[in-house]
């Protein structure tokens, strides 16, 4: 199922990357990347394992520092801002980790409360409860509020991970392999949730995946990361209407018999 | 015939391996020093996380109580028992309370507590934070602007700095109790007499030095455990290494600090 058209403002780039380079030792992971993420857009970054997809979003959120190039996020150059400015910026960016990264010593409620209480000074208990219930309702897991992360299934953990980022009302969402390790039905549910988040929270998102069904169902645009650079960028059909032997196997593996 | 060059890396000599290990060790000490500076920079800034500090005090203090009690008691009993034959030779068994109290207060209580805590608390902190690093929980805190260093490191270091001196004081009294029971059973000394003789040779400087040592040891165990866990390498092996590194490095530093503080306290006497 192809994604429905979203309300995208192509005059407003919330993330603007130019000439981004990142190496680990002798291995050049990103070799001069240019990328724009527009307001309201879901951009899927596809690529083989180890091509630097996760590195890209870690650079955008300031978890890693680039070797060269600029990363402009919501008008701030991430590589050249103070720690305090970076912390303030991060509140506006939601990051859903591949393994959910739920705090395993806290209940679901505490996991959701934690970023809210620490970032919103003077917030009342009633407001916290209201926000927690609201995001849990948004991901359809109100019944898990008092459970520990270890008691949740993989799909539930992903949803709670997304809920934890939503509680701060982020303007940008970054999903690292949102469907990795999940069964097909749960994958579809997660894809639907990503689209609901885009619509209901008016977010712009970067979705890192190598799952083409996820790319097709959630992406307004797809960017194919090959050999450290974006080789093909466009709609799903534009990217995969090719005989490029580096791209074609992705499509063939997922969609042809 | 194959004439290509071998791509196998040359095996480093023993000398270069030793040089590498030594430079790694000093690099680690420098990194711990930077970690300590960061701690002092962040600890004074809000939020203060008092609830989490209390929880960590419970984890490090109360949960070590049984082991510490047993160890303190056995140290007191064994030390008294082993010292008796030497003093009997001089007909000086009446000095046992003084000997036990000097040994316990000046050296054994803070040192034994620190070593037990390095093994139990330090490894636990290293493994817990290491596991959080490996499962990206620390990154998740970082990206949500929740200041993980403040929440995870400052609270644990404050907790160990508070609880380990308290545990060391407790160990001192438990060890004295053990010593008293042994002396009482063999020499028939009363509790009051034992305690009077035990505290007679001790000065304020001795208590101060002992307490200072325990505070420094507590801080060291907390910092080293947090440092090893906070910068654990990826993977489960990294968690094990963090726990192990926390114990070994903390014990090593505790011994060095013991020597230094004894020297400094000596200048004040």
In a 3-state reduction of DSSP, which class is residue A61? coil
Whole-number Cα distances in Å, B79 to B74, B127, B177, B178, B266: 8, 34, 12, 9, 24
In a 3-state reduction of DSSP, which class is residue A146? coil
| A49-55 contacts, C-beta under 8 A, 24 or more apart | A49/A210, A51/A225, A51/A226, A51/A227, A51/A228, A52/A22, A52/A225, A52/A228, A53/A176, A53/A208, A53/A209, A53/A210, A53/A225, A54/A98, A54/A176, A54/A177, A54/A208, A55/A22, A55/A29, A55/A30
Mutate to test the interface with B, among A60, A87, A165 (most CBs of B within 10 A): A87
CB A117 within 8 A of CB A128: yes
Write out chain B's pLDDT in tens, 269 residues.
Answer: 444 444 555 666 777 778 878 888 888 889 999 999 999 999 998 888 999 999 999 999 998 999 999 999 999 999 999 999 999 888 888 899 999 999 999 999 999 999 999 999 999 999 999 999 999 999 999 999 899 999 999 999 999 999 999 999 999 999 999 999 999 999 999 999 999 999 999 988 889 889 999 999 999 999 999 999 999 986 889 999 999 999 999 999 999 999 999 888 888 77
- Looking at every residue in chain A, the average pLDDT score rounds to 92
DSSP at A179? T
Cα separation, B155 vs B175, whole angstroms: 30
CB B193 within 8 A of CB B131: no
Give residue ranges of A with CB < 8 Å to any B CB.
58, 61-63, 87-88, 90-91, 93, 95, 97-99, 101-104, 114-115, 118-119, 164-165, 168
Using alpha carbons, select from B67, B173, B54 the residue that is nearest to residue B120. B67
Of A90, A99, A114, which is closest to B143 when you measure between CB atoms? A90
Of A97, A118, A168, which is closest to B136 when you measure between CB atoms? A97
Going by their DSSP bridges, the two strands A42-47 and A221-226 should be labelled as: parallel
Nearest CA in chain B to A96: B140
DSSP B213-243: HHHHHHHHHHHHHHHHHHTPPSSHHHHHHHH
The full set of domain ranges for chain A reads 11-100+172-255
Q: Where are the beta strands (DSSP E) in B36-110?
A: none
CA atoms within 13 Å, Cβ hemisphere of B69: 6
In a 3-state reduction of DSSP, which class is residue B143? helix
Using alpha carbons, select from B238, B57, B260, B47 the residue that is nearest to residue B157. B57
Of B47, B137, B140, which is closest to A118 when you measure between CB atoms? B47
CA A239 to chain centre: 20
Query: What pLDDT, in 10s, does the model give residues A80-138?
Result: 999 889 999 999 999 999 999 999 999 999 999 999 999 998 899 999 999 999 999 99
**Does A255 have pLDDT greater than 90?**
no
Q: What is the ipTM for the molecules in this complex? A: 0.90
Four-way CATH pick for A11-100+172-255: 3.40.50.970, 3.20.20.80, 1.10.10.10, 3.40.50.300:
3.40.50.300
């Amino acid at each position: 199922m192809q994604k429905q058209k979203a309300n995208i403002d192509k005059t407003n780039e919330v993330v603007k990357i130019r000439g981004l380079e990142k190496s680990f030792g002798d291995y050049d992971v990103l070799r001069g990347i240019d990328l724009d993420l527009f307001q309201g857009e879901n951009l899927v970054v596809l690529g083989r394992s180890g091509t630097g997809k996760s590195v890209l979003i870690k650079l955008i959120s300031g978890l890693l520092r680039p070797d060269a190039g600029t990363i402009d996020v919501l008008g701030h150059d991430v590589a050249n801002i103070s720690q305090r400015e970076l912390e303030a910026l991060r509140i506006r960016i939601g990051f859903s980790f591949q393994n959910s990264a739920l705090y395993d010593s806290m209940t679901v409620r505490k996991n959701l409360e934690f970023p809210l209480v620490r970032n919103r000074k003077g917030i009342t208990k009633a407001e916290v409860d209201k926000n927690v219930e609201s995001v849990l309702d948004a991901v359809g897991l109100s019944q898990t509020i008092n459970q520990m992360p270890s008691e949740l299934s993989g799909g539930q953990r992903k949803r709670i991970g997304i809920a934890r980022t939503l509680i701060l009302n982020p303007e940008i969402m970054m999903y690292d392999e949102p469907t990795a390790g999940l069964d097909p039905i749960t994958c579809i549910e997660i894809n639907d949730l990503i689209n609901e988040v885009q619509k209901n929270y008016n977010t712009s998102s970067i979705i890192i995946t190598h799952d083409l069904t996820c790319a097709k169902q959630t992406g307004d645009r797809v960017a194919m990361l090959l050999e450290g650079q974006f080789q093909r960028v466009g709609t799903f059909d534009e990217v995969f209407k090719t005989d490029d032997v580096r791209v074609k196997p992705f499509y063939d593996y997922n969609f042809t018999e | 015939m194959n004439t290509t060059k071998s791509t196998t890396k040359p095996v480093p000599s023993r000398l270069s391996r030793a040089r590498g290990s030594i430079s790694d060790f000093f690099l680690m000490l420098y990194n711990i020093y930077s970690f300590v500076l960061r701690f002092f920079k962040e600890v004074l800034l809000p939020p203060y996380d008092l609830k989490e500090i209390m929880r960590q005090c419970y984890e490090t203090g109360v949960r070590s109580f049984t082991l510490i009690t047993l160890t303190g008691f056995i140290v007191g009993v064994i030390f008294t028992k082993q010292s008796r034959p030497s003093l009997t030779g001089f007909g000086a068994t009446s000095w046992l309370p003084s000997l036990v109290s000097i040994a316990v207060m000046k050296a054994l209580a803070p040192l034994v507590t620190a070593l037990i805590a390095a093994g139990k608390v330090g490894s636990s902190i290293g493994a817990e934070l290491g596991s959080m690093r490996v499962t990206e929980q620390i990154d998740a805190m970082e990206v949500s602007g929740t200041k993980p260093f403040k929440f995870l490191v400052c609270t644990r270091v404050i907790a160990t700095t508070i609880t380990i001196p308290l545990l060391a004081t407790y160990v001192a009294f438990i060890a004295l109790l053990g010593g008293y029971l042994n002396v009482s059973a063999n020499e028939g000394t009363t509790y009051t007499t034992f305690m009077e003789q035990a505290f007679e040779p001790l000065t304020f400087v001795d208590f101060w030095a002992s307490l200072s040592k325990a505070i420094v040891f507590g801080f060291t165990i907390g910092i080293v455990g947090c440092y090893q866990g906070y910068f654990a390498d990826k993977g489960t092996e990294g968690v094990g290494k963090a726990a192990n590194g926390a114990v070994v490095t903390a014990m090593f530093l505790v011994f060095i600090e013991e020597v230094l503080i004894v020297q400094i306290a000596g200048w004040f006497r």
